[in-house]
Structure 1
Amino acid sequence: RLNDLVCTETLRTKFYPPDLGARRLSRVLQALDGYLAGASQREVAVALFGAERVEADWRDPRNHLCDQVRRAIRRGRDLMNGGYLKLLR
């Protein structure tokens, strides 16, 4: 990486793949933002997954989509209330 940086004078993305947890954390923060703005869980789901998916899956008796939204909001609140410190360690 250092040699490539010296030769090209840029940090090329092929040497820095995206963090696998970044997508999940992004959803968690978006869910928290919606929750704090007063959005309903369904509105948060539309923002995260799109209206088409929510329309198709929201009333599924297994509640997979509802559970994902609830977990994302709970995780966001946990992070907001000090859980972010674990990320920094």
Structure 2
Amino acid sequence: MWLLRLRRRFPRAERWGLYAFADPALCARQAPVFWHVDALKRVIRLNAQMRNGNENTPPSTLADFKFNRTAVIGVDKVPLVLVKGAGVHVPLEIRGLPALTAPFAPVFELHGLGDLSTQIELLKRLKRFTEPGQRTIQTPPFASDERMHHALIALDESLEGKTYRQIAITIFGEKKVAEEWYGHSQFLKDRTRRLVAKGTELMKGGYRDLLS
């Protein structure tokens, strides 16, 4: 489990939805990302109650979650643990836990009835991380979606001032653009515009949907 313990806040990183920027010495595939709790659209919040020895149910520990875990303890001393695997991320904010290795009895919080089904589904995802032999969790449709990759490329090209046609060449290749750009069908042009719009949406906060 990756652990980041902060003694101070990093305002520049927080503007990007992070507690702190990743270590530049690590490659992108290795560097853990510590998302700020305020950047997450949905978070499971629980209170960790200490065991008194009289309970019939066994205690819980963070080691019960079988997949990758990253944890950050900010200046408020409240741990935020991100459990992730198979394209699914479940953020868990834990109050009252003296140490990340300590056993505890979890008391989960529910906030409002408007999105009760969404909160329950998130709890079900968390439970699946604890099931013995669990290796696959249903992934959201965007997990392996090539469109997301193309949208990010389109965003980068757009921010560089490229035209839609230049963006399409970068994504689909010169041959395809030469054959279809000025044809009767507007499909390629419309697709490129939608990719730029999707990339812009992600940049302006839509990326948070990928964490829910």
**Alignment of 1:79 onto 2:202:** yes
SS of the aligned residue for 2:205 comes to helix
C-alpha separation between the residues in 1 aligned to 2:174 and 2:148? 21
The AA in structure 2 aligned to 1:82 is G
Structure 2 spans left out of the alignment, 5+ residues: 1-65, 67-134, 137-142
Aligned counterpart for 1:33 among listed residues 147, 156, 176: 156
Structure 2 partner of 1:48: 171
2:144 alignment partner in structure 1: 20
Q: TM-score, normalised by structure 2?
A: 0.33
Q: Deviations over 1:20-55 (max 9, x none)?
A: 31x211111000000000000000000000001100
Q: How many residues align?
A: 73
Residue of structure 2 equivalent to 1:7: none
Report whether the alignment pairs 1:64 with 2:187: yes
Structure index of larger Rg = 2
Amino acid at match of 1:35: S
Provide the C-alpha distance between the structure 1 equivalents of 2:149 and 2:209, rounded to a whole number of angstroms.
Answer: 16
* Structure 1 runs not aligned, ≥5 long: 3-14
Structure with the largest fraction of helix? 1
SS in 2 for 1:59: coil
Residue deviations 1:46-72 (CA, integer Å, cap 9, x gap)? 000000110000012220100110000
Whichever structure has more strand as a proportion of its residues is 2
* Alignment RMSD (CA, Å): 1.7
- Partner amino acid for 1:74? A
How far apart, in 2, do the equivalents of 1:82 and 1:60 lie?
35
Matched residue, 2:211: 88
